[in-house]
A and B are shown apart, each in its own frame.
Chain A
Amino acid sequence: MAELQLELKEKIIEQLSLEDVEVSEIGDNDPLFGDGLGLDSIDALELIVMLEKDYGIKLKDPKEGKLIFESIGVMAAYIEKNRTK
């Protein structure tokens, strides 16, 4: 689980072009949207693509993303449970 969380942090920094952010600055329970990392609706869509591409999880409704992308911790737990690759 800790490994997956680290992997997610690296991927998020890379995929969402958070160039000035370090892995160590993202806490497992920090909110990703709003006041946290300041991600927006397009970032959420990018994360949906990432779920499908890297973990074989397909979301149909972007609203589902809101709950899943709450924090790295929540996201990792969801991926563990639902991944197909």
Chain B
Amino acid sequence: MEDHYKITSFCSIRDQTVYKDGEEYYTNTEAATVKDFAKGVYKHLALNYAKFYKMDDLCKLSFLASEVLSQGIEFPEDTALVLANHASSLDTDRKYQESITNREEYYPSPALFVYTLPNIVIGELSIRYQLKSEGVFFVSESFDADFILQYASILLETQKASQVICGWVDLDSHKYDVFLALISKTGNREANAAELNTIYSKL
């Protein structure tokens, strides 16, 4: 990445705690489920976005991280989304799988099936901020800062996007690891792999 691109802001959600730019922003260790925890963050952010409640847990956590990231920042329409994870949409896939294997009570839910693809996260964020730019979702072993930044830099340097929201949004049962970073021309941290790895693994 050319050195004029910076890590503008970042947000992580782990172990029932939300971190903004490395600082603890919200925590609720009492929440029994991911759903309850996410609702707590939503209320804390005082959001009014009814669609939130319809999302699956992976989309909810990703959406909340993007909301924290967006505080005080406008995402222009040509903001690209470059995301990856390990478990794909497995958490929701399992729930849907159960609903179709029930022979007596066969009533699979369309609202659930919609979330059996990981890139629906990109769809939800694009709808929320009206982003009409490029979006891509990779499934890989672990967070690969080099790879993600390589993709982001191609988009920025060929003027396909003016800024990129990139990160790792992983959820499997109750375990989750959500990390989003905004790469643009403003900020104090250099947008390089070493720096991205540092802020990803710091917490």
Residues in A lying within 8 Å of B, measured CB to CB: 16-21, 38, 42-43, 45-46, 49, 52-53
Contacts and interface: CB of A to CB of B under 8 A. Distances in A.
A62 to B, nearest CB: 10
B107 A17 contact: no
Interface string B8-44: 0000000000000000000000000000000100000
Contact of A18 (B39, B53, B107, B110): B53
A46 B109 contact: yes
Given A20-B50, A42-B111, 14 more contacts: A16-B54, A17-B53, A18-B50, A19-B39, A20-B53, A21-B50, A42-B54, A45-B111, A46-B109, A46-B110, A46-B111, A49-B107, A49-B109, A52-B107
A42 B53 contact: no
B110 A42 contact: yes
Interface residues of B, number: 10
Interface string B105-121: 00111110010000000
A42 B50 contact: no
Contacts of A43: 111
B109 A38 contact: no
A19 B110 contact: no
Contacts of B110: 42, 45-46, 49
A34 to B, nearest CB: 14
Contacts of B54: 16-17, 42
Contact of B50 (A38, A45, A46): A38
A61 to B, nearest CB: 15
A15 to B, nearest CB: 8
A17 B110 CA distance: 13
B107 A19 contact: no
